Structure 1
Amino acid sequence: MDKYDSVNASNVCALSFFSGCGGLDIGVQLGGAKVISSLDFEPVAVQTLKANPFFAHSTHECADIRDKKGADYSSLLKSHNPEKLIIVGGPPCQPFSKAGYWITNEKRKGINDERNMVYEYLRIIDEIRPDGIILENVESMLHPTNKAIVEHIEQRFVAMGYHVRRYLINALALGIPQKRKRVIFFASLKPFKDDLTFLSEEEIVKVNVLDWIGRFDSETLSESEETTKGKTYDFELSEVPPGHNYIALSARDGYPNPKFVANKRFWNFLLKLHPLQPSWTIAAQPGPWVGPFHWNNRRLRVREIASIQTFPMDYVFEGTRRAIQKQIGNAVPSLLGKAATEYLISQL
């Protein structure tokens, strides 16, 4: 039975919201559920979903969740008639991002931010009433400033009759070659029987990025966008040792004729991968000199950032290079989605 047959044979179906280019949805299907519907507001992300045979059995809709009702899915659910139904999604994270901390608490909108789609996600969950739910978001959602929204999510789930678990999951604990933490809320109509078993920082798998992207370091796979030759900080990038950032060129690290002052720039300025260490978080919209860069003094290639996010090697991305970077950077690592889905299904 190949991966497509096993998906079609699943008796657990999933409705996906804020689907993006499918990072979480891939994991959902690898974890044992069949994604029968996806929805996203970005046309290019929906084009990516449609371009991949892994989701050939799914309906893909480019729409705003605010315009959707639970009743819109009645006929689809009737046609599939799943034994168990789950809803998965990660509402837009801008209201909870670390970038927001540069704004004073008096000016931050937080729970009232118009980009906060959590309420819409909870609304449609309440209208559909699935057996289980995954709600994922950025680590900084747990910042004290966001306490009200975290409490609101948990209280709403309980009010709807769900049991709730919340975890901060480090992708490294799953062997994913990236330092990336995500907050995941699990909700189930049945009480949870077990706890997650891969959360211990002491048990994090030793993983290096070379094992995942080394195969793509060939001139035949080069991209025009990857070169920094002749650009502003090309020489400085070449001087940064693998595993370091611009601070390696400062007086603090003993660099002769220092180019920079430590702690005066963002930490990921001229940040360079070390082949024998995991990657830092892949950004959705990095600035021109924001890393991680490849240890060979170039920007990472599409297939490299996709592999760091554990997308399948044959996964197709639509759009411009910038649009693809945004899709991949905003995605949930697929293997994290797989582990989360396996856990949820085991509790239903």
Structure 2
Amino acid sequence: MPEWDWSLRDLHNVTKIGRRVFSCFSCGGGSTMGYKLAGYEVIGNVEIDPQMMAIYKANHNPRFPFQMPIQEFRKIPKQELPPELFQLDILDGSPPCSVFSTAGSREKKWGVEARFREGQAKQRLDDLFFHFIDVADMLRPKVVIAENVKGMILGNAKGYVKEVVESFAQIGYIVQLFLLNGATMGVPQKRERVFFIARRHDLRLPDLQLKFGEPPVLYRDIRSGRGRPIDPKSRTYQRWLKRRPADKSMAHVALRTEGKNNNFNTIIVHDHRVLNTIASNSVFVRYDEPYHISNEDIIRSQAFPRDYNFLEGDPQYVCGMSVPPLMMKKIAEQVNRQWFKRGA
């Protein structure tokens, strides 16, 4: 059975390594599942979104859940927090990263208060990483792992990354940056993400080495069922009729046939290619039939377990906002092998 085809029940058979993790900005728990697959114990989480917290609890049953903004969590007096949180091996987090996406005029969003999602409090999204670093300073874990979009290391955002690295240094952590692609890590998806992996300076650990080269998993390997049909009255359908094998998105078709430069979010999916990044707002249509891809395709491409309970949530939103479990599993295995087994 392929590694991406798994069940939450399989976690009962994973050998535990005796290492503790706490997850911030946990969403549906993609990274949580990755750590568990690698043998870690994830003891709790922080999540601002009530729906995501309900989904997280349904699938992970955390001992110490905190449904609140990270800004509030970091202000909790230490004596009011469980002592286990001060004995962490890894502090995990994926600070919301939409303001660093390369789509649109991202710089205009920096420093602006906004709701990341309906129902949440307004906050400056580009400040969240620094609040996360404050949590690291409070809890003093051995290792901190933070995931973010590739856009963080491109263009003007490089200055922001420099501030992040310097902030980690000020609290006694050495940071390494890794740009990793899920397609080389067993994930049936081309998902490039930046990982900040910081180790506490006093532990005197060597640099971490991360290199992955697993064979790609093509769309035909995960394809199952059908999603909703393309509306035959829509412009998307008219463009779909004019598609060619080389076209990767409806934007290519629009530019070639109409001279228009739009419809970027509608991706044409080919059986012999690896699926593009699953984002919460992307639209995927099959090349060989006028249908969208199925929810099962999305779940498989994100390497989520087949028995995951999405409650009333949209699988594409939950998956698109989460770290693929296999990505985090592969990273967590190397952290254990190269650092924790050395006595850290």
TM-score bracket for the superposition, by shorter chain length? 0.7 to 0.9
Tell me which residue corresponds to 2:239: 236
Q: 1:248 to 1:37 in 2, by over 3 A?
A: closer
SS of the residue 2:20 aligns to: strand
SS in structure 2 at match of 1:167: strand
SS of the residue corresponding to residue 34 of structure 2 reads helix
Residues 130 and 167, structure 2, Cα contact 8 Å, conserved in 1? no
TM-score, normalised with respect to structure 1 = 0.80
Shift of 1:89: 0.6
Q: Any residues of structure 2 matched to 1:186-205 within 5 Å, and which?
A: 186-189=197-200, 190-193=203-206, 195-199=208-212, 203=213, 205=215
**After the TM superposition, which residues 210-229 of structure 1 pair with which residues of structure 2 at under 5 Å, given as runs?**
210-212=220-222, 214=223, 216-217=224-225, 226-229=228-231
1:205, distance to aligned residue in structure 2 (A): 2.0
Deviation for aligned residue 1:78: 3.1
Once residues 60 and 168 of structure 1 are traced to their aligned partners in structure 2, the CA distance between those partners, rounded to angstroms, is: 30
Q: More deviation in 231-240 or 16-25? A: 231-240
Number of the residue aligned with 1:17: 24
Which residue of 213, 218, 228 maps to 1:208? 218
Change (3 A) 1:87 1:278: same
Q: Note the residue ranges of structure 2 that are not aligned, 5 or more in a row.
A: 1-8, 114-122
Counterpart residue type for residue 125 of structure 2 = R
How far 1:40 sits from its partner (Å)?
Answer: 1.1
Segments of 5+ residues of structure 1 without an aligned counterpart are 253-257
Say which of 59, 78, 88 aligns to 2:83. 78
Which of 325, 332, 337 is 1:341 aligned to? 332
- The answer on 1:136 being equivalent to 2:147 is yes
Work out the CA distance in 2 between the residues paired with 1:208 and 1:170. 14
TM-score (norm 2): 0.81
CA 1:299/1:128 → structure 2, altered by over 3 Å: closer, same or farther? same
Identity %: 25
Q: Is residue 2:269 matched to residue 1:273? A: yes
TM-aligned CA distance change 1:34 to 1:111, over 3 Å: farther
Q: Is it true that 1:62 corresponds to 2:67 in the alignment?
A: yes
Letter in 1 for 2:72: D
CA–CA separation in structure 1 for the residues paired with 2:110 and 2:156: 10
Contact 1:26/1:334 (<8 A) preserved: yes
Aligned partners of 1:72 and 1:26: how far apart in 2? 29
Amino acid corresponding to residue 239 of structure 2 in structure 1: E
CA distance in 1, matches of 2:288, 2:49: 33
Contact 2:187 2:302 in 1 (8 A): yes
CA RMSD for the aligned pairs? 2.9
> Aligned AA for 1:196?
Q
> What is the match of residue 47 of structure 1?
54
- How many Å separate the matches in 2 of 1:36 and 1:205? 33
Paired amino acid for 1:302: N
Distance 1:234 1:174 in 2: 34
Contact 1:174–1:198 under 8 Å retained in 2: no
Report the counterpart of residue 109 of structure 1 in structure 2.
Answer: 110
Which one-letter code corresponds to 1:198 in the other structure? K
- Tell me whether 1:304 sits opposite 2:302 in the alignment: no
Partner of 1:122 in structure 2?
Answer: 133
